[in-house]
Chains A and B, each alone.
Chain A
């Protein structure tokens, strides 16, 4: 099992550009989520999904879109990147109600 995979590992964008961060898992987990990590602020939930076709907002959803067309994939889209979105982004997955989430290796995003 590859677990949770994320691409790219690093990305630099200019303000206003759009991009999609990819996340995939091969553990047949129904629950998937996106977090951003900023210094001294822990992990903050952006969006999550409890299954294919179902998504919901987390704590800091503004500026981000998600979709869940398959159980395996949960991409995160930045429609118009802003410097405030400079952060490290983590995708995680779990069985529903399991509590324990498994994390990907992260994408380090810089917006200039």
Chain B
């Protein structure tokens, strides 16, 4: 099946720091999604990207759809303790609904 490589696997940062994570694929995707999962909950959509080169923000979060269509990036600025969770990227390769997920980035924010 399709492979999405997400990095880093985990991050331990101080409150106020900026965070960057990314996903890469050997295949071209036509949609990139970023989800956040908090303990005991299901993933919740943060940002959806539909065009190569697209840069979209949601508050302190900014995500980009890579020009090659094989990667995507998520940045979190001025992190706060409630940013703690697992962040997943997901890609869609066709016009259908099936998604492929990255392994996740576990973010820990120290106050």
Contact = CB atoms under 8 A, between A and B. Distances in A.
A45 B41 contact: no
Contact of A101 (B41, B99, B102, B103): B99
Interface in B84-111: 88, 90, 92, 95-99, 101-104
A105 B97 contact: no
B28 interface: no
Interface stretch (A11-19, A36-44, A68-76, A78-86): A36-44
Interface in B62-98: 88, 90, 92, 95-98
Contact of B97 (A4, A43, A50): A50
Contacts of A53: none
Interface residues of B, number: 27
B95 A59 contact: no
Nearest to A102: B45
A63 interface: no
B96 A97 contact: yes
Interface residues of A, number: 28
B22 interface: no
A100 interface: yes
A34 interface: no
Nearest to A30: B97
Contacts of A59: 1
A92 B37 CA distance: 14
19 contacts: A33-B97, A35-B101, A40-B104, A42-B88, A42-B104, A45-B99, A48-B98, A50-B96, A92-B42, A94-B97, A97-B96, A99-B31, A100-B45, A101-B97, A103-B35, A103-B43, A105-B40, A105-B41, A105-B42
